[in-house]
Structure 1
Amino acid sequence: MVTPTPKKRKTTAIIDESRMDQIKAFVQGAVYCYCNVADQGSKFSARDLFGAYDSLWSATPLKALHQWHTDNDADDPAGMAGKDLGWILLDVLDSDVRQFRKSKEVVNVYEWLPSEGVGV
């Protein structure tokens, strides 16, 4: 669950439901891994989980986002795929049983909030 209640939107990439489910499962796995190693209260963004050293998406379900933007002649396929991934991350976090607080910095940043009885 994300607070404050987030404004959501759809991705610009048109991805079939089955592939989107795979992408969301992959994103959720990354969030679970992060929460296993991070302290509650630490902050993260889509860029932290999937950018920089983790930006090689070729062998992951995330490749479909980049491929869609490439196939549709986007000026910046990587940038557009990254924005879509940010919206997907928000959706995944909002569906999670744990609580996250969203804040705006250069990009949206999420803080994992402590809550009773909800572990990793």
Structure 2
Amino acid sequence: MSLTEESQLRSVTGITEEQKMNIVNFLQGAVYCWCKNRKDEWFSLRDLMGEDNYYWEGTPLLPLYIKHEGANDDPVKEAGKDAGWLLKEVVANDKRVFDTKKESLIRHYRWVPSE
């Protein structure tokens, strides 16, 4: 695990293995871009896939929303939780090392460059 502290990973169910791999690859690209362009800055799923990027149509993340649509009062919130668990898996399996912290129920990460 490439996180600087022990942390629990959870499986995301209700999507196909192919959908999961597409999401993981998509999130890995987002993490790579963040680390390249915003060194030493903390990030969370909200930073990568929220705010201006909240509209997931046309992205591999859409199946997470569809999975919760109609089954939950707040499919956006539930899809965000699933995406957060998948982001944590991406970071934990990355070859680089990341610090992690939790603030207001939101998991944040920061790349720790090797010296």
TM-score (norm 2): 0.93
Q: CA deviation at 1:6?
A: 1.3
Pairwise CA RMSD: 1.1
Tell me which residue corresponds to 1:35: 35
Q: Percent identity?
A: 41
- Cα drift, residue 104 of structure 1: 0.9
Correspondence 1:31-110 to 2 at 5 A:
31-39=31-39, 41-71=40-70, 73-106=71-104, 107-110=106-109
- What's the offset of the Cα at 1:115? 1.1
Question: Counterpart of 1:82 in 2: which secondary structure?
Answer: helix
Aligned residue in 1 for 2:110: 111
Aligned to 1:7: 8
Deviation at 1:95, TM superposition (A): 0.6
Deviation at 1:85, TM superposition (A): 0.6
Matches of 1:27 and 1:100, distance apart in 2: 15
* Paired position in structure 2 for 1:25: 25
Q: CA deviation at 1:27?
A: 0.4
Counterpart residue type for residue 78 of structure 2:
M
What's the secondary structure of 1:43's corresponding residue? coil
List runs of 5+ in structure 2 lacking aligned partners.
Answer: none
Q: How many residues align?
A: 113
TM-score by length of 1: 0.89
Moved over 6 A (4+): none
